[in-house]
Structure 1
Amino acid sequence: MTTPDSDSALAEQLLRLTRRVHRIQKHHLERSGLGVTPAQARLLRTLAHCDAPPRMADLAERLEVVPRAVTTLVDALEAGGKVRRMPDPANRRVIRIELTEDGHKALRRLRGARMSAAEEILDPLTDLEREVLSGLLDALVGGAPDGTPTHPHGHGHGRGEGGGPGPGRNC
């Protein structure tokens, strides 16, 4: 049975782990030499999961930020040649954002940086501990990788409901 003290200690451990993950990912991102911030990397990953180039408002909603923040991110990524703005063929007043070839190359390097960070974080764990952690994280995230709830009572939130674009999502 958990107590408020044990729940508080567990919450603190989770917050410390989250900060450590962010710090290590930022370090690996900086070492990648791409000149991309963590927020820009997140926008690139979100674009990669969209079925079609999204509108700025769609990106803001997916990233859970104000539209102005997306404009700033897109401006920087566009200046670096990783994304481009393009008019919507159905409504030329609407601007859509798409990855460029350089953006796709950057994503491949970013994936490598993320994998290196994950390996560093998980290095102290045995295979069994990793398997247990994976099950625990699935329970906390609330869904399997394909978006199906894994919580025994069906209370989970599948992938694509806040954590990131799910398969087949058009942002």
Structure 2
Amino acid sequence: MAAFASYDVTPSQVRAIRVITQHDGGVRASELAQQLRIAPRSATEVVDALEEKGLVARDPDPADRRATLVSLTDRGRALSEDVRRARGVESERMFERLTRTERADLARILAKLAED
């Protein structure tokens, strides 16, 4: 939370930024809504707020001029990187109490749970 406090963003906005980060050329708001599992109207509100803060930009979709793509601005990319680093530090802090064997066991269990 401290990593994005200075950016004045909510956790749901950070989740949206994480999804947008995964789409180099930008993402349509409808796809963003689907990936966040929220209503399209809610995705529009999230994008509006992020755009107002200078974290994302809307650009015409080159494949469909009626649609727009949402992409990160330089400020949005900086926030994404700050959050990624902060999560890494927090993960290390949280898992440092586990032994090497416990970490290996946890990784194996999580990999099994992630299987389809």
1:122 and 2:78 correspond = no
Where does residue 38 of structure 2 map in the other structure? 65
CA distance in 2, matches of 1:90, 1:137: 38
1:126-165 pair list within 5 angstroms: 126-142=99-115, 156=116
Q: Displacement of 1:92 after TM fit?
A: 2.9
TM-score, normalised to structure 1, is 0.62
Q: Which runs of 5+ in 1 are unaligned?
A: 1-25, 143-155, 157-171
More helix by share: 2
Where does residue 48 of structure 1 map in the other structure? 21
Give the number of aligned pairs.
Answer: 116
Secondary structure of 2:6's match?
coil
Secondary structure of 1:93's match?
strand
More strand by share: 2
CA distance in 2, matches of 1:123, 1:93: 50
Offset from partner CA, 1:66-109 (integer Å, 9 cap, x none): 11111121111111111011122343321210111111111110
CA distance in 2, matches of 1:91, 1:79: 24
Offset from partner CA, 1:12-63 (integer Å, 9 cap, x none): xxxxxxxxxxxxxx4x445x52322221111111111114211110111111
Q: Which runs of 5+ in 2 are unaligned?
A: none
Letter in 1 for 2:60: P
Where does residue 89 of structure 1 map in the other structure? 62
**RMSD across aligned positions (CA):** 1.7
Percentage of matched positions with identical amino acids: 36
1:111 and 2:88 correspond = no
Residue pair 1:29, 1:38 contacting (<8 A) in 2 also: no
CA distance in 1, matches of 2:6, 2:114: 31
Where does residue 34 of structure 1 map in the other structure? 7
TM-score, normalised to structure 2, is 0.88
Residue pair 1:87, 1:93 contacting (<8 A) in 2 also: yes
Q: Which has the larger radius of gyration?
A: 1
